[in-house]
Homo-oligomer: A and B are copies of this chain.
Amino acid sequence: MPSKRMRTPNHELVFAALRKTAKPLTAYELLDRLRSRGVSAPPTVYRALGRLIEDGRAHRLESLNAFIACTRPHHGAEAMFSICDDCGSAEEILDPALSKRVAGWAHNACFELDRAVLELHGRCRDCGGA
């Protein structure tokens, strides 16, 4: 029998809040935005985030302690981001050559890779990447 787990109103509230902004949001920012919708405490937010991440619908940005919606579901744990420290926006990086290079390194080093955290900080095209 496959999983019994379902999508719930809380999951969708959090997901919708993430999608509404271009910037990653912290769990507490999400909480503030959803209090009016009945979300009252951190565990609710964290539980929904955990679920969205499991399901590939959101990602955690480790270097910001923040979360972002993932529109295009992807394959492995290969989620890579560019983060603009000026405007706060973050975008998913899709670069197969880069993914391949990471996998190649792991293979050469006999490292059994589970998850790659790749987050590039700087300034986006609009903010000064002239």
Interface residues of A (CB under 8 A from B): 62-63, 82, 85, 93, 95, 97-98, 101-102, 105-106, 109-125, 128-130
With A63-B62, A97-B101, A129-B112 already in contact, the answer to whether A106 and B120 are too (CB < 8 A) is: yes
Complex: how many Å from CA A22 to CA B112?
19
Tell me if A's interface is mostly helix, strand, loop or mixed.
mixed
Q: What is the copy number of this chain in the assembly?
A: 2
Contact of A110 among B115, B116, B125 (CB under 8 A): B125
B residues less than 8 Å from A98 (CB atoms): 98, 101-102, 105
With A111-B124, A111-B129, A128-B112 already in contact, the answer to whether A119 and B62 are too (CB < 8 A) is: yes
A95 touches B106 (CB 8 A): no
With A97-B101, A98-B101, A101-B98 already in contact, the answer to whether A112 and B123 are too (CB < 8 A) is: yes
Complex A-B, nearest 6 residue pairs according to Cβ-Cβ distance, in ascending order: A110-B125, A112-B129, A110-B129, A62-B63, A117-B119, A114-B122
Would you give 11 A-B contacts (Cβ < 8 Å), ordered by A? A82-B106, A82-B111, A97-B101, A98-B98, A98-B105, A105-B120, A106-B120, A113-B120, A113-B121, A115-B121, A117-B117
